[in-house]
Structure 1
């Protein structure tokens, strides 16, 4: 029981669900017709808790992999590369802007983490970065950083 990954995962999500439920309760629930600021958090926390209990019970019943088997075959180099790339993305986001940072991140991930041929990775990266920028900036009207070095160019504004 204690060695099953589902049991420990279920306990983690149960703790998270209880925390979200408690915070929702503290924010004031309101009523169904006039929900308060904690209404959605409260009910979402209860849903997370219920699902977590079912997962933990599967672990108690002996279903699922053992905790030691869960990490066998993990590619830790790739995990580290992704974490470092996301940290670099966060630090450079304001200076370089959304499009350049997203393009660089996607190219890095498709070149070093999970290699894809350049014939595919370059157009996919360009279309994804510019496409997401277009949807966020032009359709949803979300202001994204253009990059301090691109401030004067009308190209992205």
Structure 2
């Protein structure tokens, strides 16, 4: 566990540094009269992630975190099964985005994850599966003006209704 914790922190630290470097291709500072530059949020979120990974690695090396104090294996049978179920669902989610769009893919993923894997009630599952994609739509497409992928043409009537609400 300790080795896995430190290794994961190292990999995430390298990814954070890479994302910080890539975000400097855009302006990372505040642009007078316009607001934060295009690289502002990616840069600073990556910097925060880098700081967190350094702290995790330090705690792992000093054996201050619970995972670094145990001799248990990183992945036992139960954890491996969960990794396959969740990892497979994430791969399916990513493949579905180009077919049915981001929001419907989120809807389907939440039904699987919350309802099937989490075994939550129908009310909780339906509330999250319907509410989260709608909130994402209004946040990204409406408020931020960042359109998410809508998939193939058969999903357009649904999006036409939602776009009618914000434009």
Do both share a fold (TM > 0.5)? yes
Counterpart CA distance in 1 for 2:162 and 2:18 is: 44
Does 1:52 pair with 2:52? Answer: no
Is residue 62 of structure 2 the alignment partner of residue 66 of structure 1? no
Structure having the higher Rg: 1
Change (3 A) 1:20 1:121: closer
1:110–1:15 distance in 2 versus 1, CA, 3 Å: closer
Instruction: Give 1:109 deviation, angstroms.
Output: 0.9
Q: Which protein has the bigger helix share?
A: 2
Q: Structure 2 stretches of 5 or more lacking a match?
A: 30-38
- Call closer, same or farther: CA 1:17–1:96 in 2, change over 3 Å: closer
Greater RCO structure (CA 8 Å; 6+ sep): 1
> What's the counterpart of residue 123 of structure 1?
127
- Give the whole-Å Cα distance in 2 for the aligned partners of 1:44 and 1:130: 28
Tell me the number of residue pairs that the alignment of Structure 1 and Structure 2 aligns.
140
Structure 2 residue 115 is the aligned partner of structure 1 residue 111: yes
2:155 to 146, 150, 154: 150
Contact conserved, 1:18 with 1:46, CA < 8 A, in 2? no
Please point out which of 86, 96, 111 is paired with 1:82. Answer: 86
Any unmatched runs of 5+ in structure 1? none
Residues of 2 paired with 1:131 and 1:124: CA distance?
10
